[in-house]
């Protein structure tokens, strides 16, 4: 039995919860009937557990993963950004920028030399260059930009490492 404290209340997860979460993050479209066969529980038990895990915030949603190349997004890059200053106004400005640019599909704040890193998808190198030269570099909160173009993607998983042994530590 594993206990998590969230919002002042204890939540218990057992090994069946962990197994269910692991299966759902591999294929969220798996039916309760198929999961019941795999996990040795009834479909109604699977449904109730799934609803509880959703209500308690362990499941944030069920994204649809698209094929970037088939959609004409042939260039993936990571862009490191150093800001001009470390202020709340700067941070809010960068947040607004990331939300306004659909090419920026993920953004993180970092420790170290760069303040942010963006994961971007663009149709081609011209589009990437346009994003960097005409959007990022002129932005008043951005001081320095460094980009790395992805040559080959070896792994792209969204699944978290859910093993019973890892959670027992």
Task: Give the residue numbers spanning the domain of 35.
Answer: 2-63
Q: Is residue 114 included in any domain, yes or no?
A: yes
Q: From 143, 8, 121, 39, select the one nearest 73 (Cα to Cα).
A: 121
Mean pLDDT of 35-64: 92
Same domain, 59 and 96: no
> Could you give the C-alpha distances from 69 to 19, 66, 74, 89, 124, in angstroms and in order?
32, 9, 5, 36, 11
| Sheet architecture: strand order including 75-83 | 104-109, 116-122, 75-83, 142-149
Same domain, 37 and 80: no
92-110 b/e with 16+ CB inside 10 Å = b?
ebbeebbeeeebbeebeee
CATH number assigned to the domain comprising residue 97:
3.30.70.920
Task: Using the 3D structure, point to which of 63, 84, 107 is the last residue of a domain.
Answer: 63
Cα four-point dihedral sign 13, 17, 22, 26? negative
Same domain, 82 and 142: yes
Same domain, 110 and 137: yes
The more confident residue out of 52 and 6 is 52
The more confident residue out of 129 and 1 is 129
Domain count, the chain: 2
Mean pLDDT of the chain, nearest integer: 89
The Cα angle at residue 94 between residues 91 and 98, in degrees rounded to 5: 140
Span 74-133, pLDDT tens digits:
999 999 999 999 999 999 999 999 999 999 999 999 999 999 999 999 999 999 999 999
Helix (H, G, I), strand (E, B) or coil at 78: strand
Q: Is residue 82 included in any domain, yes or no?
A: yes
Same domain, 83 and 141: yes
Q: Is residue 33 included in any domain, yes or no?
A: yes
Q: Give the DSSP per-residue string, 32-50.
A: HHHHHHHHTS-HHHHHHHH
Same domain, 145 and 100: yes
Same domain, 79 and 144: yes
């Amino acid at each position: 039995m594993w206990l998590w404290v969230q919002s002042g209340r204890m939540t218990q997860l057992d090994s069946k919860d962990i197994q269910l979460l692991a299966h759902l993050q591999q294929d969220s479209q798996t039916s309760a009937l198929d999961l019941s066969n795999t996990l040795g529980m009834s479909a109604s038990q699977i449904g109730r557990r799934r609803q509880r895990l959703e209500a308690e915030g362990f499941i944030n949603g069920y994204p649809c993963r698209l094929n970037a190349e088939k959609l004409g997004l042939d260039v993936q890059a990571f862009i490191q950004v150093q800001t001009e200053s470390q202020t709340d106004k700067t941070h809010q400005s960068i947040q607004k920028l990331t939300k306004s640019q659909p090419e920026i599909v993920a953004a993180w704040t970092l420790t170290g030399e760069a303040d942010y890193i963006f994961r971007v998808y663009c149709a081609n190198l011209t589009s990437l260059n346009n994003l960097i030269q005409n959007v990022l570099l002129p932005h008043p909160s951005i001081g320095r930009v460094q980009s790395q173009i992805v040559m080959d993607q070896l792994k792209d998983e969204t699944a978290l490492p859910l093993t019973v042994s890892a959670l027992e530590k």
